[in-house]
Amino acid sequence: MRIAVDAMGGDHAPVEIVKGAVEAAVKDGIRIILVGKEDRIRAELNKYRYPHELISCFHTPDIIEMNEESASAVRRKKNASLVVATRLVKEGDAAAVVSAGNTGAQMAAALFELGRIPGIERPGIATVFPSPTGPKVLIDSGANVDCKARHLVQFAGLGSIYAKNVLGIDNPRVALLNVGSESNKGNEAVVEAFQILERSKSVIFSGNVEGRDFLTGDVDVIVCDGFVGDIALKLTEGLVATIFMMIKAEMKKNPVRLFGGLLVKPGFKEILQKLDYTEYGGAPLLGVRGISIICHGSSWAKAIRNAVRFGQKAVQGNFLELIKREL
């Protein structure tokens, strides 16, 4: 089994992408294909000692930039690193693809190269994030900015399957992210989705959850369109980072606070680790016929390594077949 890694995708490519791939090979023994401009990949690989039998290169001349229009870029640049890495999965040369590049392009490449699972109209990104009550799944966290009610219902089913089979949550509870808890709140798509999910026998529907209960609500899967999901996710990440930065600054204002800060530092480090998205590495694009792992655009080596590890776990756990069976 080999994992195809888009070495040219992301804000810190190829430096951090190659570093993360090397760590996954050295520390986890994972076989990796680095896809992209071979001269640049080799220049980074030469910085490390690694088992050469575990890492190979696949040269591609093109790159899809972060600011390019996704669908047209995938059509025009059939030899771009992201497209070729996805094609390797389609052709059976790789078991999964990992990229920190253009999210829209990765979704388009997955649709064009891998295709959708029958019954799924819109694949969704399932992001796992920590909370005081345990891990939660947010779907969709950025793939689809405009959704109809049936798409939200499909996300609910995919998220429930993911929470059950990957996170090990028995009887996962599903909720819609909304502006109020009442069934008639929200836009037309959310109201209609509420009515459908309320009658559903395939998911355990817990109603609506508001933004203030995003982290503390007693649910396991939170469903929304990709526009709302992406904002909610990045707002949470930014808020957590800002709060800890403010606490750190206040602790340094006088010796007493500094001493107290040193005493509680281990606890803060544990909390930060639990809230660190790099611990999860990447998020799977659910609903396509292949394992496609989407990483944060600003991913560093640690996130890439963990995304590769997640891709391996998904393949070994036969996750794709589990989704098809459950659907």
pTM of the predicted protein model: 0.86
Secondary structure of residue 280 in the 3-state scheme: coil
Instruction: Report d(CA 110, CA 97) in Å as an integer.
Output: 10
Instruction: Report d(CA 20, CA 30) in Å as an integer.
Output: 12
- Find the helix or strand (DSSP H, E) in which 149 lies: helix 149-165
Buried b (16+ CB within 10 A) or exposed e, 233-266: beebbeebeeeeeeeeeebeeeeeeeeeeeeeee
Using one digit for the tens of pLDDT, what is the confidence trace for 49-71? 999 999 999 999 999 998 888 88
User: Beta strands 291-295 and 127-129: pairing type?
Assistant: unpaired
pLDDT above 80: residue 256: no
Lookup: tokens for 281: 């590495």
- Find the helix or strand (DSSP H, E) in which 207 lies: strand 204-209
Confidence class for position 325, pLDDT limits 50, 70, 90: confident
Least confident of 71-85, 110-124, 250-264: 250-264
Using one digit for the tens of pLDDT, what is the confidence trace for 191-232? 999 999 999 888 999 999 998 887 777 899 999 999 999 898
Domains belonging to the chain, first-starting first, are 2-120+287-326 (3.40.718.10), 124-280 (3.40.718.10)
